[in-house]
Chains A and B, each alone.
Chain A
Amino acid sequence: QKEVEQNSGPLSVPEGAIASLNCTYSDRVSQSFFWYRQYSGKSPELIMSIYSNGDKEDGRFTAQLNKASQYVSLLIRDSQPSDSATYLCAVKRGGGSEKLVFGKGTKLTVNP
């Protein structure tokens, strides 16, 4: 089983819709979870971080974490064409390691 799994997509949604991105992880002791957005040809940009179970909202973005199910998701409300990018889920291992383990990313296309 891969450490961090994401549906590679592509995920296509119409403008104004909610985009839902999902991620599962295998290491139960993971403590920190991140969503990065990467535009084509650019480096990853932090969108959200979440550390405790439940929801965390920031503008149009909501991250959801369920440690029991080892599941983290990102919802993008009122999707815009500018949200079209690859979204990377990243998990920081426990045990004092600072390394991030990345999923392969989900490519999102928002159609005008």
Chain B
Amino acid sequence: GAVVSQHPSRVICKSGTSVKIECRSLDFQATTMFWYRQFPKKSLMLMATSNEGSKATYEQGVEKDKFLINHASLTLSTLTVTSAHPEDSSFYICSAPRDAQETQYFGPGTRLLVL
């Protein structure tokens, strides 16, 4: 069964609004989670590493003030897309490492459409 969940699975919003996406690890704790973005027919792009109890680490070129990440507990990380614009429309996917080898399991993804 699924080991990582995401909510919502799909969201449509107006330009200028903020959207929060939740990522939860199910039946295990994750001190680290990862946020990816994927545009149609393109490869996965790592946006940031979410760290429980400390600041997220952003990849080069990702605006930290636009993509706010909060890892408030050992099972929940949130990504907030602030002042969303149509170019932010994408498939956002989180992952969390589990087991001794820290195998990463992906959530089902959130499809964001900004009108």
Contact = CB atoms under 8 A, between A and B. Distances in A.
Interface string B65-109: 000000000000000000000000001010101000111111111
Interface residues of B, number: 19
A88 B44 contact: yes
Contact of B102 (A45, A46, A92): A92
* Main SS at interface, chain B: strand
A105 B45 CA distance: 12
A99 B46 contact: yes
B109 A99 contact: no
A43 B109 contact: yes
A49 B103 CA distance: 8
Nearest to A101: B46
A32 interface: yes
A63 B83 CA distance: 44
Contact of A104 (B34, B43, B108, B109): B43
B104 to A, nearest CB: 6
A100 interface: yes
A100 B94 CA distance: 12
Q: How large is the interface on A (under 10, 10 to 19, 20 to 34, 35 or more residues)?
A: 20 to 34
A34 B104 contact: yes
B109 A42 contact: yes
B49 interface: yes
Nearest to B96: A98
Nearest to A32: B101
20 contacts: A32-B101, A32-B102, A34-B104, A42-B108, A43-B107, A43-B109, A44-B44, A45-B106, A46-B105, A98-B32, A98-B34, A98-B49, A98-B97, A98-B104, A100-B46, A100-B95, A102-B43, A102-B44, A103-B43, A105-B43
Interface of A: 32, 34, 36, 41-46, 49, 51, 88, 90, 92, 98-100, 102-105
